[in-house]
């Protein structure tokens, strides 16, 4: 029973973790609104200042991804799955998926158009923060 | 004739081989149904869909058919995108007799180029972006097994030419789309007979699409010429409203010829309600009047869809028509892969 409580408490903690959206230091993006982020992660907005945007997702099971999707996209799993099924039929792919936060940061450092959401505690001066989300 | 069948079988076998090879050579470590699979490490994805449908109609022999089977390959590289979809209709049909069909058609084939977020163009064969139903026309993505009659009689389902799109960048999303076609259907390069479309060789169309939170509106108009020298104009207006549980959808269209109105109206109003994430109930009212074919009908479609997973749809529906012999019961199973 204690283990179950621990799992529940830690899940709540992870879900409420503050996250940030980062991009490459050379990017011309200074900040993004929630609406713009939604548009980018649904692949509706695909360019910024002439540069093609590459939004990154963490794995499906990742709690930060779930939190980000619920906060920014405001769509449940089924709605999102249906959306991407329709996009698949239209020949469009969902955001590229990386295996870990460290992988996401490495990718962002290498590609000017890349964006990723990461826990606040991972932020350093090698990347630019363009959005703050979650509960501090 | 036998030679033609052998050629068709050969085309079919080659396409199947390409798909199976693509799947076996898949570049992604995890495959999720309904999302396609990467071909090796190429900027190319393979996918497709299958639909199995059963139809029982008053005074007619019931039919069971694999009515749709298609394979898609698509991808994008920087600003260029590409897609090819080959489809076979009625691969297997069982009514009073059994028939099979292995003829493959070019359902879609296009190249796209994005200049930026505002402008993009597409050239080739693609779904005409008219109304809401015609942009997601395959069974697994549709709300019901049957499609509203408006999608069959008012406008060309497919455009074979150039499409130019403008997308707004403000708070309110809107899009303006223009199409120009000055040739026959691309599929007629492979087959003499037209497939799943009006037999046209000229088409100009324009569409305006607006999106505002839960509401969407689509307005389309166009002019097309058929190979049997008919010049036709159409107009379509559509709206949709959706929230977490329900969706309201409506489309209305009309068609004019040189000598006046051909189809004064064809349209539907549909309400669907998600009982939970897997179950959905649908009620649609349709009506149309076709002066050319001297046909007029109004009917109700009551449907139910169960999705054990989003890319798998099991659907049932019953249609009550004012023309009683048109009453029918439909069930289908469809999958997107």
Per-residue pLDDT at A13: 47
Per-residue pLDDT at A39: 92
Quick one: CA dihedral B19, B21, B24, B27, positive or negative? negative
**B279 CB contacts (<8 Å, ≥6 apart)?**
B304, B305, B306, B307
Mark which residues 271-290 of B lie under 8 Å from A by CB. 277
Per-residue pLDDT at B5: 57
Over pLDDT 70: what percentage of chain B? 91
Please list every residue in chain B whose beta carbon sits closer than 8 Å to the beta carbon of residue A35.
171
pLDDT tier for residue B316 given thresholds of 50, 70 and 90:
very high
**B259 CB contacts (<8 Å, ≥6 apart)?**
none
**Cα-flanking dihedrals φ and ψ of residue B101, to 5°?**
-145, 125
pLDDT tier for residue A9 given thresholds of 50, 70 and 90:
very low
Nearest to B141 among A44, A89, A92 (CB): A89
B211-233 pLDDT per residue, tens: 888 899 999 999 999 999 999 99
Give me the domain span that covers residue A32: 2-133
Per-residue pLDDT at A134: 76
Per-residue pLDDT at B10: 59
Average of pLDDT values for B91-112?
A: 92
**A63 CB contacts (<8 Å, ≥6 apart)?**
A11, A14, A15
B121-159 pLDDT per residue, tens: 999 999 999 999 999 999 999 999 999 999 999 999 999
- Which chain B residue lies closest to A97 (C-alpha atoms)? B28
Per-residue pLDDT at B173: 84
pTM, 2 dp: 0.88
B2-336, which class in CATH? Answer: mainly beta
B43-69 pLDDT per residue, tens: 999 999 999 999 999 888 999 999 999
B152 in contact with chain A, both atoms CB, cutoff 8 A? no
Per-residue pLDDT at B26: 46
CATH of the domain at A65: 3.40.190.10
B37 in contact with chain A, both atoms CB, cutoff 8 A? no
B153 in contact with chain A, both atoms CB, cutoff 8 A? no
Per-residue pLDDT at B250: 97
Q: Which of A80, A91, A95, A97 to mutate to test the interface with B (most CBs of B within 10 A)?
A: A91
Cβ <8 Å between B81 and A47: no
Complex ipTM more than 0.85, yes or no: yes
Please list every residue in chain B whose beta carbon sits closer than 8 Å to the beta carbon of residue A88.
34-36, 45, 47, 336
In the predicted structure, residue A5 carries a pLDDT above the cut 90: no
Q: For all residues of chain B together, what is the average pLDDT?
A: 91
In the predicted structure, residue B112 carries a pLDDT above the cut 80: yes
**Cα-flanking dihedrals φ and ψ of residue B200, to 5°?**
-120, 160
Beta bridge pairs of residue B335: B50, B312
B259-315 pLDDT per residue, tens: 999 999 999 999 999 999 899 999 999 999 999 999 999 999 999 999 999 999 999
**A55 CB contacts (<8 Å, ≥6 apart)?**
A40, A41, A43, A95, A96, A114, A115, A116
In the predicted structure, residue B2 carries a pLDDT above the cut 70: no
Cβ <8 Å between B79 and A52: yes
B34 in contact with chain A, both atoms CB, cutoff 8 A? yes
Cβ <8 Å between A85 and B311: yes
In the predicted structure, residue B4 carries a pLDDT above the cut 90: no
A120 in contact with chain B, both atoms CB, cutoff 8 A? no
User: CA–CA separation, B157 vs B134, rounded Å?
Assistant: 7
User: CA–CA separation, A128 vs A22, rounded Å?
Assistant: 5
In the predicted structure, residue A62 carries a pLDDT above the cut 80: yes
| Domain total of chain A | 1
Please list every residue in chain A whose beta carbon sits closer than 8 Å to the beta carbon of residue B117.
45-47
Please list every residue in chain B whose beta carbon sits closer than 8 Å to the beta carbon of residue A76.
244, 277
């Amino acid at each position: 029973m204690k283990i179950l409580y621990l799992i529940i408490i830690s899940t709540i903690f992870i879900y409420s973790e503050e996250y940030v959206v980062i991009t490459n230091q050379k990017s011309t993006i200074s900040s993004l609104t929630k609406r713009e982020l939604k548009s980018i992660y649904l692949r509706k907005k695909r360019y910024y200042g002439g540069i093609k945007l590459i939004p990154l997702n963490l794995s499906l099971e990742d709690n930060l991804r779930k939190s980000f999707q619920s906060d920014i996209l405001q769509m449940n799993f089924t709605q999102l799955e249906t959306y991407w099924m329709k996009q698949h039929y239209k020949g469009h792919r969902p955001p590229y998926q990386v295996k870990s936060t460290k992988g996401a940061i490495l990718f962002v450092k290498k590609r000017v158009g890349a964006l990723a959401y990461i826990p606040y505690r991972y932020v350093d001066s090698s990347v630019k923060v363009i959005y703050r989300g979650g509960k501090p | 004739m036998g030679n033609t069948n052998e050629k068709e079988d050969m085309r079919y076998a080659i396409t199947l081989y390409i798909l199976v090879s693509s799947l076996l050579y898949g570049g992604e470590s995890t495959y999720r149904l309904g999302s396609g699979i990467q071909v090796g490490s190429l900027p190319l994805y393979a996918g497709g869909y299958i639909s199995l449908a059963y139809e029982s109609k008053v005074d007619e022999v019931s039919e069971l058919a694999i009515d749709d089977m298609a394979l898609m390959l698509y991808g994008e590289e920087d600003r260029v995108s590409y897609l090819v979809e080959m489809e076979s209709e009625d691969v297997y049909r069982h009514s009073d007799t059994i028939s099979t069909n292995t003829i493959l058609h070019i359902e879609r084939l296009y190249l796209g180029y994005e200049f930026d977020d505002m402008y993009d163009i597409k050239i080739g064969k693609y779904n005409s972006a008219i109304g809401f139903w015609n942009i997601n026309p395959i069974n697994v993505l549709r709300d019901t097994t049957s499609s509203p009659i408006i999608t069959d009689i008012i406008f060309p389902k497919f455009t074979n030419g150039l499409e130019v799109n403008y997308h707004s960048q403000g708070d309110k999303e809107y899009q303006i789309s223009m199409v120009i076609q000055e040739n026959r259907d691309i599929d007629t390069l492979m087959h003499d007979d037209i497939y799943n479309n009006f037999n046209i060789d000229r088409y100009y169309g324009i569409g305006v699409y607006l999106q505002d939170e839960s509401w969407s509106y689509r307005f389309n108009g166009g002019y097309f010429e058929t190979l049997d020298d008919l010049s036709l104009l159409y107009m379509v207006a559509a709206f949709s409203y959706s929230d977490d549980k329900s969706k309201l959808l409506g489309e209305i269209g009309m068609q004019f010829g040189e000598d006046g109105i051909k189809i004064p109206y064809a349209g539907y109003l549909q309400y669907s309600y998600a009982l939970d994430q897997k179950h959905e109930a649908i009620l649609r009212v349709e009506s149309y009047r076709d002066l050319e074919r001297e046909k007029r009908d109004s009917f109700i479609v009551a449907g139910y869809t169960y999705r054990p997973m989003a890319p798998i749809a099991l659907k049932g529906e019953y249609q009550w028509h004012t023309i009683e012999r048109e009453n029918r019961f439909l069930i289908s199973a469809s999958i997107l892969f």
